[in-house]
Structure 1
Amino acid sequence: MDIDLLLDNLRNPALLFFFLGILAVRFKSDLSIPANSSKFISLYLLFAIGFKGGQELAHSDLGAEIFYSLFFGIILALLVPLYTFFILKRKLGVANAGAIAAAYGSVSAVTFVTTVSFLDIRHLEFGGHMVAVMALMEAPSIIIGVLLMAWFDKESVEKPSFSNLLRHSVTNGSVFLIMGSLAIGFIASEEQAQGIKPFTTDIFKGFLAVFLLDMGITTGRRLASFMQNGWFSFVFAVIVPLVNGCTVALCSGMITESIGNRLLFAILAASASYIAVPAAMKIAAPQANPALYIPMALAITFPVNITIGIPLYMMLIT
């Protein structure tokens, strides 16, 4: 791995604020971000990345690469929960395995946004259609996770109808906002879009830093209780995402030659959802333990990806 690239990534202000949040919990500081402010910032980040992606998509040629990319993203969202479920089932049970598999087949919008910021710093371009790829990867993994739970543990899992499950996945707030923002960015004229550019672009990195500070505080609070579940879930949360990311970093060259797009594909394959999937699992699998699958995605996989993962995937791509 390029040590200079790793050190440069670790000096990213947004990432340093994430570590500051963890330290605040460690030193028992009363530092906190109000819940309403945190929710607003998360909505803003989804809105901004969706709108900018729509603008980029409007300026792109809707060729074969875009359709291949969308198809590739959906295939990843189906395959990852399928194979991870069987790794997890023997150790953690069917319900927990299904919920965790769905989380790791789905994506983390915050990890995606952090990677976009990394690409911007290094002046590397990426296609606006990658935002659509991210949004489309949410629902399939949730559906696969619930179907696997229903298949292997028919007595204990309530089986929601396919239509209700699909509707819940698509209308989940984060998915709905980013898809809607993508559509608006695609439709809006370039001249009109310039009017809100200071809001969608200029202050983006500042909001990202504050949001990662909040993520650091949340991670610090959950980390101690998570470690009580043993080493298996910890090792899984580190190794499996890196394997997924490295594999996709290498094979994504068959889909696109863009370095930026390939890095985003790798991070989408490596990341895990701690927003959309937990919301869906409350309905689909209430017996699954959220104290297990949320800290795995947020407290372990998220920091591993933004510290080690991004430079590692970048090295493999280049």
Structure 2
Amino acid sequence: MSEIIIQNLLSPVVLFFVLGLLAAMFKSDLKFPNGLSEGLSIYLLIAIGLKGGIELSQYSLHSVIRPIIATLLIGAIIPFIILFIMRLMKMDFKNSIGLAATYGSISIVTYGAAISFLDSNGTDYEGFMNAMVVLMESPAILVSIFLMKIIEKNKTTLNVPTHSIGFVPASIKLFDKKVIRESLFGKSILLLLGSLLIGLALGEEIIPMVKPLFMDLYYSVLILFLLNMGLIAGQRLPEVRQHGVKLLIFGLSTPLFLGTLGVYIGSFTGLSLGGATLMGVLAGSASYIAAPAALKTSVPEANPSIYLGLSLGVTFPLNLIIGIPLYYEIAKLLN
């Protein structure tokens, strides 16, 4: 186990993240232009979506139906788990929703780092797992915001506290078209889903066209993106500390619990060692692209320093250093 952790620590993606973290901590003038940062995000979203679609085109629906159901189930139940934990911690309602959406959704870059980890260990995984990234990106965001709408309407209609979930009358409109549109057609989900569908429709015949940019250069671009994420995470760390030790413990322990749950579910659905590891990574990671974008417009009262600070400053490095090797070891035991 210690050898795997050391190996992961010494990988280029982790070391460049640490470099960015140190640069922020020591007030370096290193800074990524906004356009470059945005471009790197768009590149990764398209690359992962295309690869997922191409891989998924090689499988029949029968062979992927169980992992698809498992992925959607995990994405839907995690918000309930997070909201329950937040209630125990006495976190206010809007910030609880923010954390539920953030931790229920996934980190694409953590997933990319896990792929790199598996490749370096020579561990195979199901190609359709890249498609699971797209499927798990939005359910938690939708569920979290829908829960917020339900609870708020309960409070207005039935005059109950926001921390309780009671009976919702049939006359209440639960589905807000604006929320659905923002969640499904936001930049992250649109690029992921669109690239996935393009890869799925065209299959392997587009590989010669996309391979030079979106496959051969993937890990080099990932290194640049992680350097930028290190800078952002280092800037967010002081904000997390302002909210107390309980929140820090949550950011350290909850991902490992959810990741372990993901590995068990992945193994139960018949995934291989690599596939179960990736399912754990999806369950244990936290979003800092899609979820914050949706929360900014749908739940503006939620404090970004809490959900972004935890996802980037605590959970992201935790998964890079400890989470990925841990999920791998648990998957080895189950397989």
Q: Please say whether Structure 1 and Structure 2 have the same fold, judged by a TM-score greater than 0.5.
A: yes
- Structure 2 match to 1:69: 67
Unaligned runs of 5+ residues in structure 1 are none
Does 2:179 correspond to 1:181?
no
Asked whether the 8 Å contact 2:262–2:282 carries over to 1, the reply is no
Does 2:43 correspond to 1:44?
yes
**Partner residue of 2:277 out of 253, 263, 286:** 263
The 10-residue stretch of structure 1 (125-134 or 276-285) with the greater mean CA deviation from structure 2: 125-134
Asked whether the 8 Å contact 1:57–1:127 carries over to 2, the reply is no
Does 2:252 correspond to 1:254?
no
**What is the root-mean-square deviation in Å for CA atoms of aligned residues?**
1.9
Deviations 1:129-177 (A, max 9, x none): 22222212232211221233334444599x9843322221111111111
Asked whether the 8 Å contact 2:277–2:328 carries over to 1, the reply is yes
Deviations 1:45-71 (A, max 9, x none): 1111211122212223x1434111111
Q: Distance in 2 between matches of 1:65 and 1:198?
A: 30
Q: How does 1:160-239 map to 2 (within 5 A)?
A: 161-188=175-202, 190-239=204-253
Please, what TM-score do these two structures have when normalized by structure 1?
Answer: 0.93
Asked whether the 8 Å contact 1:55–1:186 carries over to 2, the reply is yes
Seq. identity, %? 37
Q: CA deviation at 1:188?
A: 2.5
Deviations 1:12-39 (A, max 9, x none): 1011000000111122110111111111
- Structure 1 match to 2:149: 150
Q: Distance in 1 between matches of 2:284 and 2:206?
A: 36
Q: Distance in 2 between matches of 1:123 and 1:179?
A: 28
User: What code does the residue aligned with 2:287 have?
Assistant: S
User: What code does the residue aligned with 2:79 have?
Assistant: P
Q: How does 1:27-176 map to 2 (within 5 A)?
A: 27-60=26-59, 62-89=60-87, 90-153=89-152, 154=155, 161-176=175-190
- Structure 1 match to 2:293: 279
SS at 1:293 equivalent:
helix
Asked whether the 8 Å contact 2:4–2:325 carries over to 1, the reply is yes
Please, what TM-score do these two structures have when normalized by structure 2?
Answer: 0.89
**Partner residue of 1:293 out of 275, 290, 307:** 307
Residues 140, 221 of structure 1: alpha-carbon distance in 2 compared, 3 angstrom cutoff: same
Unaligned runs of 5+ residues in structure 2 are 163-172
Q: Distance in 2 between matches of 1:123 and 1:228?
A: 42
Q: Distance in 1 between matches of 2:284 and 2:63?
A: 22
How many residue pairs align between the two structures?
Answer: 315
- Structure 1 match to 2:254: 240
